[in-house]
Structure 1
Amino acid sequence: MDWDRVTEMLAQAFWCLGTEKEEVVKGAENSAIVIGAFDESGRQIGYARAISDKVRFAYIIDVYVDEAHRRQGIGQAMIRCMLNHPSMADVYQWLLITRDAHEVYKKVGFKVTSRPLDWMEIWKPRPPRGTIKA
């Protein structure tokens, strides 16, 4: 992975504006699977990862494709790679959150959660920038 490039891409995403390299690297190190997409020249153009126990569930996060390469199936290919990866073969519940890409995820089999009222969450204050250790 080109961590500088991944950080550059994710820092533009609405869900993690301004993210720093240390956050990106630590998140990847603590993920069950990390996927990258690269163009013919070797430049990184996509990134995705999943957090999982590799038995029951996986949570897909940080799916990003460079704007110049969108609508070419790259995001779908990265998701399919995760869904079909041998290390994730036992996982039977895959989750993700999306604000604006429902149609993209439907193309790879996702549906709106069948029990939205069952979900709960806690939001804690985000640590100040520059305090996360990779």
Structure 2
Amino acid sequence: MVHICDGYEKMDFTKVTDMLAKAYWSEDIGQDEVMRGASNSALVVGAFVEDEQIGYARAVSDKTRFAYIMDVYVDERYRNQGIGQSLVNYILDHESLKDVYQWLLSTRDAHGLYANCGFQPLAQPQRLMALKREVKNAPNRRLII
């Protein structure tokens, strides 16, 4: 039975790092970067089977106008069971983010999952811009937006 909970202290960051290091958007990410990102997020959530963490997601937000969902990842052994959708819906329904009215995310291959949560393509994607800055702690990260 899969259960979802939130809280930085409940996450297994060794497992989260192992999962995210396999993802196209964060290949070879280190645990320090994962933990720093999580600690500065508005919400981190995990999916667990008993005590084993098998999924992760987080939201970056001002908790008022805007939130960005990122790092949604489910262990390959547990995919196609609705766990990713459950993680996203948990974030969307969380009390601390109930006032947020603008949500954004980026995906290469999970459009169906996010559509099931209410997301749709941007009406005016040309309004978005991106900046990739080289920093010493993440020298070779790809731009994901």
Q: Same fold (TM over 0.5)?
A: yes
Counterpart position of 2:5:
none
CA distance in structure 2 between the aligned counterparts of 1:20 and 1:63, rounded to whole angstroms: 17
Q: Which runs of 5+ in 1 are unaligned?
A: none
TM normalised by structure 2 equals 0.86
Counterpart position of 2:114:
105
Deviations 1:47-69 (A, max 9, x none): 00010000001000100000000
Question: Tell me, what secondary structure is at the counterpart of 1:7?
Answer: helix
1:9-24 paired onto structure 2 within 5 Å:
9-24=19-34
Structure 1 128/85 Cα, relative in aligned 2: closer, same or farther at 3 Å?
A: closer
Counterpart position of 2:96:
87
Counterpart position of 2:142:
none
Q: Runs of 4+ in structure 1 displaced over 2 angstroms?
A: 126-130
Deviations 1:13-56 (A, max 9, x none): 010000000000000000000000001x3100000001000000
Question: Tell me, what secondary structure is at the counterpart of 1:15?
Answer: coil
Counterpart position of 1:114:
123
The alignment of Structure 1 onto Structure 2 pairs a total of residues equal to 129
Question: Tell me, what secondary structure is at the counterpart of 2:56?
Answer: strand
User: Is 1:50 the counterpart of 2:59 in the alignment?
Assistant: yes
User: Is 1:78 the counterpart of 2:87 in the alignment?
Assistant: yes
Counterpart position of 2:17:
7
Identity %: 52
Question: Tell me, what secondary structure is at the counterpart of 1:76?
Answer: helix
Question: Tell me, what secondary structure is at the counterpart of 2:64?
Answer: coil
Question: Tell me, what secondary structure is at the counterpart of 1:48?
Answer: strand
CA distance in structure 2 between the aligned counterparts of 1:116 and 1:36, rounded to whole angstroms: 30
Instruction: Write the letter of the residue equivalent to 1:45.
Output: I
Question: Tell me, what secondary structure is at the counterpart of 2:25?
Answer: helix
Counterpart position of 1:29:
39
Q: Which runs of 5+ in 2 are unaligned?
A: 1-10, 140-145
CA distance in structure 2 between the aligned counterparts of 1:37 and 1:21, rounded to whole angstroms: 19
Deviations 1:57-110 (A, max 9, x none): 100010000000000000000100000000001000110000111011101110
Shifted more, 80-89 versus 121-130: the winner is: 121-130
